[in-house]
Each structure stands twice: as C-alpha cells, then as structure tokens.
Structure 1
Amino acid sequence: MIYIYNDYGGTHTTSLAAAYHLKQITHPERKLTKEEILNVNYFNKLNKDDFGKLIFHGVDENGDSVFTIGRKSSKLVVPALKNLSLLLQSKHHFHEKIVFSNTSPTVPFVMSIGGFFSRGLKIDFIGVPLLVLGAKQCCDTIYRLVENTKQVGISPNEEQIIILENKIYKG
C-alpha cells in the first residue's frame, strides 16, 4: 500500500502527518514541543521547486510507503495522479492500493500566515514562531487524521485508489 498526504505547500501538515504515520513522533497524546516540530523531516524545508514532487518519507510498520506532495492551489493534481495510477495498474498489472489523504482541513489560520511569511516571503523570524504555534494547535487533529487514513487503508475496499478529502477531526 502507498499513502500520499497532500496539501497546498507539502511541507507543514503533510510532514507532520508523515511523521505521525511513521511513528517518528512519539507520545501522540500530548502537544508537540518546538524542538519536536522543527526536527520533523521536511517541516518548513521545502520550497517552490518542490511543488508537485512526491517526497518519500519512509516505510511504516506494515511495509507501506509514505509520501507527501504539495499541490499548490491546483485541484487537478490528485485526480491526475489517480488517473495515472489507474493507467499504470491497468497496463502493468500493478495492484497496490494507494490512499491520498488531504491534510488541508487541519491547517489553522496561524499556520497559513506562518507559512506565507517563512516560505513565501523568506521572513523566518516571523514565520517560524507562527508555524510552531500552528503546529501545536493542530497536532492532535493531524494525529487523528492519520489514524483515520490508516484505518481506511487497511479496511476491505474494492477501490484500489482512494481519495480522502477529510474533515477536521475534533475530539
């Protein structure tokens, strides 16, 4: 199975989701520290040249691959990847289930502003503290989104390609 977490930039909530999925972040029952957030692979490290690239984060405990992608504002990226995957499955008898999971619903406003300052304007001294604050606000929501994504992935389903738009998971 392949999991692909996606959102606008592909460097904040997606990186946190991949880290939770891969159990690189432990103790999901508590708020993350600043150090934990800033040490997550790819968190606030990708730039405009990375949009549209599948970023491999690792293999989970079940042997499933975990990727992220920043899709910008394009609503076409995930459907295009779905169609490409279906084509490859049909033509090359590739039958691995792929789950696309949208992390955008977890992004708090403060994280959007922080991402704009840090990634967009390159003003890290303003952006990074806002990103950390936003990550602390949404870490529990991201964890629950990941747990739901994994449940959908392992559940019996006729579809080989699943797209989860997701809702905000509150408590």
Structure 2
Amino acid sequence: MIYIYNDYGGTHTTSLAAAYHLKQITQSERKLTTEEILNVKFFNKLTKNDFGKIIFHGIDENGDSVYTIGRKSSKLVVPALRDLSLLLESKHHFEEKIIFSNTSPTVPILMSIGGFFSRGLKIDFIGVPLLVMGAKQCCGNIFRLVENTKQIGKSPNEEQVIILANEVYK
C-alpha cells in the first residue's frame, strides 16, 4: 500500500501527517512541543521548486510507503495521479493500493499566514512562530486524520486508488 498525503504546499500539515503516520512523533492527540514540530523532516523546508514532487518519508510498521506532495491550488494533480495509477494497474499489472489523503482541511489560518511569511516572503522570524502556533492548534486534527486514513487503508475495499477529501476536519 502507498499513502500520499497532499495539500497546497506539501511542507507543513503533510509533513506532520507523515511523521504521525510513521510514528516519528508521539501517537497521541496531545499538543506537540515547538521542538517536536521543528524537528519533523521537511517541516517548513520545502521550496517552490518542490511543488508537484512526490516526496518519500519512509516505510510504516506494516511495510507501507508514505509520501507527500504539494499540489498548489491545482485541483487536477490528485485526479491525474489517480488516473496514472489506474493506467499502470491496467497496462502493467501494478497492484499496489494507493490512498491520497488531503490534509488541507486541518490547516488553521495561523499556519496559512505563517507559511506565507516564511516560505513565500522568506521572513522566518515572523512566519516560523506563526507556523508553530498553527501546528499546535491543528496537531490533534492531523493525528485523527492520519488514524482515519490508516483505518481506511486497512479496510477491505475493492478500489485500487482511494481519494480522501477529509472535509470533516474543517
């Protein structure tokens, strides 16, 4: 199975989701510390050159691969990847189940503003504290989103590619 967490930038909530999924940060709904947040691999480290790249984060306890992608505002990226996956399945007998899980509904306004200052304007002394505050606000929602994503992955489902919009986390 392949899990791909996706959102606008691919460097904040997706990185936290991948870290929760891989148990690189404590699996609970408690608030994360500033140090835990800033030590998450790829958190606030990706640039505009990384948009659209599928980034490998690791293998989970079940042997499943975990990736992230920043899709910008394009609503076409995930459906195109779904179609490509189905094409590979039909033409080349690719039989890996793929789950695309949207982390955008977990993003609080502080994280959006912090990301704009830090990644967009390169003003980290304003952006990073806002990102950390935003991450502390939404870490419980991200944890629940990851747990739900993993449950769906484990459930018997005949679909080879599953797209989770995760609107419930708004």
User: Could you say whether these structures have the same fold, taking a TM-score greater than 0.5 normalized by the shorter chain as the test?
Assistant: yes
In structure 2, what is the Cα distance between the partners aligned to 1:52 and 1:153? 23
- Name 2:124's counterpart in structure 1: 124
For the pair 1:18 / 2:18, whether they are aligned, the reply is yes
- Name 1:136's counterpart in structure 2: 136
Q: Percent identity?
A: 84
In structure 1, what is the Cα distance between the partners aligned to 2:151 and 2:129? 33
1:1-171 superposed matches below 5 A: 1-169=1-169
SS of residue matched to 2:72: coil
In structure 2, what is the Cα distance between the partners aligned to 1:133 and 1:26? 18
Check whether the contact 1:145–1:166 (CA below 8 A) recurs between aligned residues: yes
Deviation for aligned residue 1:168 = 3.7
In structure 1, what is the Cα distance between the partners aligned to 2:142 and 2:29? 12
Deviation for aligned residue 1:30 = 1.3
TM-score (norm 1): 0.98
Check whether the contact 1:12–1:44 (CA below 8 A) recurs between aligned residues: yes
In structure 2, what is the Cα distance between the partners aligned to 1:30 and 1:161? 31
TM-score (norm 2): 0.98
In structure 2, what is the Cα distance between the partners aligned to 1:105 and 1:27? 20
Amino acid at match of 1:3: Y
Check whether the contact 2:29–2:139 (CA below 8 A) recurs between aligned residues: no
Check whether the contact 1:19–1:40 (CA below 8 A) recurs between aligned residues: yes
In structure 2, what is the Cα distance between the partners aligned to 1:130 and 1:74? 25
Alpha-carbon RMSD: 0.9
In structure 2, what is the Cα distance between the partners aligned to 1:50 and 1:43? 13
Unmatched segments (≥5 aa) in structure 2: none
SS of residue matched to 2:167: coil
Q: Which runs of 4+ in 1 moved over 3 A?
A: none
